Amino acid sequence: MNEAAWERVASLSELEGQERLSVIIDDLPAVLIRYDDKYYAIEDVCTHDGQPLTDGPVENGTIECPRHGARFDLKSGAALCMPATQPIQTFDLEFRDDEIYARPSQSDNSQQASFATTSTPTAAASEPTAAETSEANTEVAPAASSSETSSDAPMVGAMLDSLKQVIDPELFVNIVDLGLVYDITEENNDVVVTMTLTSPSCPAGPQIVAQARDAITAMPGVNNAEIKLTMSPPWGPEMMTDDAKDQLGIF
């Protein structure tokens, strides 16, 4: 595969007095971020709902979506918490005197992104350390088996709390309070969640199912998680908790 060409996107002087700058890289909306004496470039789109990340708070090497709180690693682009499950595109940076050049990251799946320090404007993008690579791999590796963590499976109440991290992207209410979770069973540290969707044709169905599986699999003491979809009984608004009804303005 041919490497993407470098393109000029901004100058260092354009970032003076500010921490971020909206640019276009490879025909994609992107944002240059200066944080902790380093530069980063990421696509300016949250993979959860397509909202801009431009105004999201930056802390500890991550950026948070200002709408629903999904966090992404500035270097790797990895999604670090719900409701996002997919990484954001990152870009390699190169400095030529005062000019900033960028191209789509050459790392697969945006798991590693390059950056350069402000102390040397012409410095090339840094390679990730072994610790950083290990941390990035942790984001995508399957959860450790119970024999490596804990022999005790989590209680049903704890699993319901974990599933509350999964937010319906259309109603913006968690799937537990919506009444989508019908049953949770566990045997030999294998968990089966029986749940439904608000409608059989729900466009967010695959996303919700994937996030529910991830939420359970990530819990200590869980070997495997399976999500079983059922449309019997069909979901109705009466299945929602009072908290969910309050959020949606249903009285």
Q: Which CATH number is 7-140 given? A: 2.102.10.10
The fold for domain 156-248 equals GMP Synthetase; Chain A, domain 3 (3.30.300)
CA–CA distance from 24 to each of 38, 57, 155 (Å)?
20, 21, 48
pLDDT, tens digit, 9 for 90 and up, residues 33-67: 999 989 999 998 888 777 789 899 999 999 998 87
Domain residue spans of the chain: 7-140, 156-248
pTM beyond 0.75:
no
d(CA 244, CA 237): 10
pLDDT at 108: 52
pLDDT at 130: 41
Residue 103 near residue 89 (C-beta atoms within 8 A)? no
| Parts of the chain with a pLDDT under 50 | 109-150
d(CA 30, CA 51): 12
pLDDT at 84: 76
